[in-house]
């Protein structure tokens, strides 16, 4: 097979892929774009509010990925039950998702409320940027306490929306997400700056706007799912008895626990990396906040392609037709890597101009530009690793994904970052680039595992 035929699909292939991917890309793109505008609005208030919100969002990132990991395990079974056309099986997996979503939300809210200040103070390192740590702590605390209200609606929305996507319904979650971000943007404008007679609430206003938008999104997704029962037969009797067969519960737990631990430990690891970077000063937190905002927008395609791989490969595996699953996966990965490389070039051109919209110092703006350049350079690497992860996950190889993802981060990436940040004088640019470059080791590991085809596995046949 020639290289072109191996990695480039025909028109029918891309039509099928884009039918799944485009709604996810649009939803993620709009969400990140409005997040960008939200970030800019807070950034216009000042550096301390921006840094406080950035620290809290890094903490909430752990909760968000814990939810993602907890519903990903049953999600593997959902996608394969869809391929099998087994609505009762889908119903059981949704119940599992809802149960863990409620439990994690309660635990997350309790931990953040009880340990608010110690967690925030982990990131407060003053090194001459003229940023007030006490003010940053105060802004972060105000923002966090309001955001806790939105944890449960976020978790429940992900449970429903994930099921709809795994069932092939990607438009409704996209629509709900678009409406929610529109609501968030409007209330941000009103409450952060005090327009239309509303009080000027600053970071608290940003948090209130986010919480309102999360309740709106939850209502849309839940109401649509249960009203359109012909399209969503799993919704019929979903809450009758809330039964989950013990055998299936055990299987989901066995496959899902490594995924949950992976996402939880990976997000904790990324937060620990950020804490290492923060030893170079509060200005680094502000610069990372700026760079991550624009980088996340450009990473939308990469993230969406991971979800697309999970849906398409999961459905093929569940159908039992393994004849073209490897070929499909190769083309999906190549598509993601090539487009990420193109977007990385565009990001490089944007990098010097984006930080200018923030009300901060020239030093932080220059630092943010450097971080955007570095992050963009490694975007194609991230695209390959993201698709490799979701390929392995689709076949239920969850323990391997745990080793591939979070174990690598804690055993390799974090110790290197810790040593370099504590025992060397490396500037943040060199430190950040060195840690990202470690991912080339993961690329080699991922390539070998894909080549061995250990991920081809029918879980529900």
Q: What pLDDT is stored for residue 41 in this prediction?
A: 78
Q: What is the mean pLDDT of residues 380-406?
A: 83
Among 191-195, 394-398, 414-418, the least confident range: 394-398
Is residue 362 situated within a structural domain? Answer: yes
pLDDT score of 435: 94
Q: Is residue 139 part of a domain?
A: yes
Mean pLDDT for 436-461 is 81
Q: Does residue 199 belong to any structural domain of this protein?
A: yes
In a domain? residue 457: no
Residue 128 has pLDDT above 60, yes or no: no
pLDDT computed for residue 330 by the predictor:
85
pLDDT of residue 67 exceeding 80, the answer is: yes
Q: Quote the domain boundaries for residue 250.
A: 3-452
Average pLDDT over residues 362-386: 92
Among 23-27, 194-198, 293-297, whose mean pLDDT is lowest? 23-27
pTM of the model: 0.74
Please give the pLDDT value at position 440: 94
Does residue 62 fall inside a structural domain? yes
Res 24 pLDDT > 90: no
Could you report the per-residue pLDDT of 98-123, keeping only the tens digit for each? 999 999 999 999 999 999 899 888 88
Please determine, for residue 401, whether its predicted confidence score (pLDDT) is greater than 80: no
Residue 129 domain flag: yes
Q: Residue 47 above 80 pLDDT?
A: no
- The answer on pLDDT for 158 being more than 70 is yes
Q: Work out the percent of the chain whose per-residue pLDDT is above 90.
A: 30
What sign for the dihedral angle of Cα 65, 70, 76, 82?
Answer: negative
DSSP three-state, residue 322? coil
Per-residue confidence band for 461, with pLDDT thresholds at 50, 70 and 90: low
Under the banding of pLDDT at 50, 70 and 90, the label for residue 81 is confident
Confidence check: pLDDT of 459 > 70:
no
With bands split at pLDDT 50, 70 and 90, how would you rate the model's confidence at 217?
A: very high
Q: How confident is the model at residue 45 (pLDDT cuts 50, 70, 90)?
A: confident
Rounded mean pLDDT of the chain? 85
Residue 458: per-residue pLDDT: 59
What residue has token string 């009300």? 359
Does residue 193 have a pLDDT over 70? yes
pLDDT of 457 strictly over 80? no
Using CA atoms, how far apart are residues 262 and 325, in angstroms rounded to an integer? 25
Say if residue 422's pLDDT is above 70.
yes
Q: Is residue 67 part of a domain?
A: yes
SS (H, E, C) the chain: CCHHHHHCCCHHHHHHHHHHHHHHHHHHHHHHHHHHHHHHHHHHHCHHHHHHHHHHHHHHHHHHHHHHHHHHHHHHHHHHHHHHCCHHHHHHHHHHHHHHHHHHHHHHHHHHHHCHHHHHHCCCCCCCCCCCHHHHHHHHHHHHHHHHHHHHHHHHHHHHHHHHHHCCCCHHHHHHHHHHHHHHHHHHHHHHHCCCCCCCCCHHHHHHHHHHHHHHHHHHHHHHHHHCCCCCHHHCCCCCCCCCCHHHHHHHHHHHHHHHHHHHHHHHHHHHHHHHHHCCCHHHHHHHHHHHHHHHHHCHHHHHHHHHHHHHHHHHHHHCCCCCHHHHHHHHHHHHHHHHHHHHHHHHHHCCCHHHHCCCCHHHHHHHHHHHHHHHHCHHHHHHHHHHHHHHHHCCCHHHHHHHHHHHHHHHHHHHHHHHHHHCCCCHHHHHHHHHHCHHHHHHHHHHHHHHCCCCCCCCC
pLDDT in tens, 258-272: 778 888 888 888 888
Number of domains in the chain: 1
Which of the two residues, 241 and 422, has the higher pLDDT score?
A: 422
- Whether 458 maps to a domain, the answer reads no
> Per mean pLDDT, which range of 31-45, 75-89, 393-407 is the poorest?
31-45
Please give the pLDDT value at position 231: 86
pLDDT of 411:
92
Q: What is the per-residue pLDDT for 460?
A: 57
pLDDT-derived band of residue 311, with 50, 70 and 90 as boundaries? confident
């Amino acid at each position: 097979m020639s290289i072109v035929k191996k990695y480039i699909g025909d028109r029918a292939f891309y039509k099928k892929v884009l039918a799944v991917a485009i709604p996810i890309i649009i939803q993620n793109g709009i969400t990140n774009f409005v997040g960008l505008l939200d970030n800019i609005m807070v950034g216009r208030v000042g550096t301390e509010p921006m840094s406080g919100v950035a620290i809290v969002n890094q903490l909430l990132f752990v909760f968000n990925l814990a939810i993602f990991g907890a519903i990903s395990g049953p999600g593997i079974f959902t996608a394969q039950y869809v391929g099998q056309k087994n609505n009762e099986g889908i119903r059981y997996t949704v119940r599992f998702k809802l149960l863990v979503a409620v439990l994690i939300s309660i635990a997350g809210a309790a931990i953040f409320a009880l340990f608010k200040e110690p967690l925030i103070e982990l990131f407060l390192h003053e090194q001459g940027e003229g940023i007030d740590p006490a003010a940053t702590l105060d802004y972060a605390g105000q923002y966090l306490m309001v955001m806790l209200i939105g944890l449960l609606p976020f978790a429940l929305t992900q449970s429903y929306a994930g099921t709809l996507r795994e069932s092939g319904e990607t438009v409704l979650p996209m629509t709900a997400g678009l409406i929610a971000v529109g609501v968030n943007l409007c209330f941000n404008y009103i409450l952060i700056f005090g327009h239309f007679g509303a009080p000027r609430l600053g970071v608290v206003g940003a948090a209130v706007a986010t919480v309102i938008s999360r309740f709106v999104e939850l209502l849309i997704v839940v109401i649509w799912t249960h009203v359109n029962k012909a399209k969503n037969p799993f919704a019929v009797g979903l809450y009758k008895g809330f039964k989950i067969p013990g055998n299936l519960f055990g299987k989901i737990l066995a496959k899902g626990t490594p995924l949950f631990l992976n996402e939880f430990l990976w997000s904790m690891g990324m937060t620990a990396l950020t804490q290492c970077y923060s030893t170079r000063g509060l200005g680094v937190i502000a610069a990372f906040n700026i760079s991550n905002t624009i980088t996340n927008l450009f990473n939308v395609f990469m993230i969406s392609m991971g979800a697309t791989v999970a849906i398409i490969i999961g459905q093929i595996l569940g159908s039992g037709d393994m004849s073209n699953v490897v070929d499909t996966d190769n083309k999906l990965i190549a598509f993601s890597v090539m487009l990420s490389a193109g977007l990385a070039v565009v990001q490089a051109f944007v990098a010097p101009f984006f930080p200018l919209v923030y009300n901060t110092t020239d030093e932080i703006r220059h630092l943010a530009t450097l971080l955007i350049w570095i992050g963009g350079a490694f975007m194609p690497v991230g695209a390959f690793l993201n698709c490799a992860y979701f390929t392995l996950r689709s076949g239920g190889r969850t323990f391997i994904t745990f080793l591939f993802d979070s174990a690598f981060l804690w055993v390799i990436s974090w110790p290197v970052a810790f040593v370099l940040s504590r025992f060397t004088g490396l500037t943040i640019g060199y430190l950040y680039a060195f840690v990202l470059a470690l991912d080339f080791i993961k690329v080699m590991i991922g390539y070998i595992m894909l080549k061995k085809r250990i991920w081809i596995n029918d879980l529900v046949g």
